[in-house]
Amino acid sequence: MGIDTRQRILTATNELFRHHGYNGTSLSQVSKAAPATIGSIYHFFPGGKEALAVAVIDSTATVYRQLFESIVAETNDPASAFSLFFDQAGQMLVETDFIDPCPIGTIAREVASTSDPIRRAAEAAFDSWVEAATDYLVRNGIRQGEARDLATLFVITTEGGFVLCRTKRSIEPLHAVARTTSPLISSALASRSPTPSKA
Amino acid sequence: MGIDTRQRILTATNELFRHHGYNGTSLSQVSKAAPATIGSIYHFFPGGKEALAVAVIDSTATVYRQLFESIVAETNDPASAFSLFFDQAGQMLVETDFIDPCPIGTIAREVASTSDPIRRAAEAAFDSWVEAATDYLVRNGIRQGEARDLATLFVITTEGGFVLCRTKRSIEPLHAVARTTSPLISSALASRSPTPSKA
DNA sequence: GTCTATAATTTGATAGAC
DNA sequence: GTCTATCAAATTATAGAC
């Protein structure tokens, strides 16, 4: 059972960050929640708390990118794919009593001015999400520039939606996002050049 | 000069929160930056750090609401009014080397699970912004329900835009917001019922 | 209203036995 | 790999002189 100690530490830290942010989480809390001794934490993460944050951000980036890909893979219409993503995020919020679904935005805003390694990890995460959504929209016939703008809006409304939902303890803000932005995808699809794809 | 000590404390705290968030800011930092002694801080804010945060959130809510009202008062077209707001926010980001323009979103996400007074203050701030933007859109002929959705999207994209801009040290995300959401306002205006207003 | 001193606790991090 | 013990520094908050 020694092998998954690293993963236990990572999982516990992720949850604590989503509860209390970066500066609000102490290593003693992590040690207790994992559970793992302080010595073990420093064994797996010699860079201490900062390295732990980078690892949490990297793994969260991957998990959310995979969630996005799995949702679009199961959905025919791109406009409803994004709505489905917002629905699923809202469901997560309710099930967890409005714990933050994503640790990255909070951590980035807390320490963007003081920890460049963490800021860069968060930047890479957001970039990878924008890229994944852009590629998906381009695959559906939307031209590169418009696709990138819409993908950026998608990530921004996700993060901004989490801010309002967590604050208001309501998923209504995410519903407003879905209602207002869904027509943007539809209209971009409608105005694409009528080159037939192999689908 | 005793009279504005309270204001100096408030201003210094606001700036420190935007730099390092709530848990990343200590009262000793506030004391040094204000400047004011710890005793003075507790004299004006007997509730300590938590009361200080509520006061910062309340004052920030008012300042931003006034900024919004002043921008829309100087602009003819609602679609360009929102773009102007995003432009101005972007300008602020560049001028301050990407210090967070708004302390509320960060603080709310940090302590929404642990401090209900702070969470409620942040909720009131967001609500007041949504209400101001909704009223403005309704005054311009957009029906209540659609206006509220667009106003909510406006606040969400502002907060989410700050997250990405601060993380990427770039104002390009806010530009993407302006480009993608501006047509939504225009189309809502175009489809309003043709009742003539007194403008 | 402002100041200094300090209480009581917790923090991130390290050392070294096992 | 895991554990305990411990460091030096910083934290919020309070007390009481001026």
Domains of chain B plus CATH, in order, are 50-190 (1.10.357.10)
* Cβ atoms of A49 and A115 closer than 8 Å: no
The pLDDT tens digits of the residues spanning B135-162 come to 999 999 999 999 999 999 999 999 999 9
Mean pLDDT along residues B37-45: 97
* Cβ atoms of A119 and A108 closer than 8 Å: yes
Confidence band for A199, pLDDT divided at 50, 70 and 90: very low
Residue B111, pLDDT score: 98
Amino acid at site B136: Y
Token pair recorded at residue A59: 């793994």
Residue A2, pLDDT score: 53
Mean pLDDT along residues A76-87: 96
In chain B, which residues have their Cβ closer than 8 Å to the Cβ of A164? Answer: 126, 152, 155-156, 159
* Cβ atoms of A34 and A5 closer than 8 Å: yes
Q: Round to a whole number and report the distance in Å from the CA of B8 to the C1' of C7.
A: 28
The pLDDT tens digits of the residues spanning A111-165 come to 999 999 999 999 999 999 999 999 999 999 999 999 999 999 999 999 999 999 9
Residue B196, pLDDT score: 57
* Cβ atoms of A186 and A76 closer than 8 Å: no
> Per the CB < 8 Å rule, is B183 touching A184?
yes
Range 100-159, chain B: CB under 7 Å to any strand C atom? none
Mean pLDDT along residues B30-38: 97
pLDDT above 90: residue B35: yes
Q: Which residue of A19, A100, A159 is in closest CB contact with B163? A: A159
The pLDDT tens digits of the residues spanning B43-54 come to 999 999 999 999
Is residue A50's beta carbon less than 7 angstroms from any atom in nucleic acid strand C? yes
- The residues, any chain, with a CB within 8 Å of residue B194's CB and separated by 6 or more, are none
CA distances from B166 to B97, B98, B174 (A): 9, 5, 11
* Cβ atoms of A106 and A22 closer than 8 Å: yes
Nucleotides of C under 7 A from a protein CB: 1-6, 10-17
> Given 3-state DSSP classes, what are the helix, strand and coil percentages for chain B, each rounded to the nearest 5?
75, 0, 25
Q: Is the peptide bond before B103 cis (omega within 30 degrees of 0)?
A: no
- Which of B16, B146, B159, B162 best probes binding to A when mutated, by most A CB atoms within 10 angstroms? B159
Burial of B171 (0-12, 13-18, 19+ CB in 10 A): buried
Amino acid at site B128: S
Q: Round to a whole number and report the distance in Å from the CA of A19 to the C1' of D4.
A: 29
Confidence band for B195, pLDDT divided at 50, 70 and 90: low
Confidence band for B193, pLDDT divided at 50, 70 and 90: confident
Q: How far apart are CA A175 and CA B153, in angstroms?
A: 10
Residue A188, pLDDT score: 97
The pLDDT tens digits of the residues spanning A46-77 come to 999 999 999 999 999 999 999 999 999 999 99
Residue B192, pLDDT score: 83
CA distances from B14 to A104, B27, B57, B58 (A): 22, 12, 8, 11
> Per the CB < 8 Å rule, is A21 touching B21?
yes
Q: Which residue of A100, A161, A184 is in closest CB contact with B180? A: A184
Residue A193, pLDDT score: 73
Nearest 5 degrees, angle CA B10-CA B11-CA B15?
115
Q: Quick check: helix, strand or coil at residue B134?
A: helix
Q: Which residue of B163, B173, B179 is in closest CB contact with A105? A: B163
What is this structure's pTM?
0.96
Biggest CA-to-CA distance, chain B = 61
Confidence band for A192, pLDDT divided at 50, 70 and 90: confident
pLDDT above 50: residue B199: no
Q: How far apart are CA B149 and CA B147, in angstroms?
A: 5
Instruction: Scan for tokens 């794809």, then name that residue.
Output: A197
A14 or A2, which is more confident: A14
Mean pLDDT of chain A: 96
Residue A197, pLDDT score: 53
Q: A50: which nucleotide lies closest, measuring CA to C1'? A: C12
The pLDDT tens digits of the residues spanning B51-107 come to 999 999 999 999 999 999 999 999 999 999 999 999 999 999 999 999 999 999 999
Confidence band for B28, pLDDT divided at 50, 70 and 90: very high
> Per the CB < 8 Å rule, is B21 touching A164?
no
CA distances from A39 to A15, A25, A46 (A): 20, 17, 10
CA A147 to chain centre: 19
DSSP annotation of A74? T
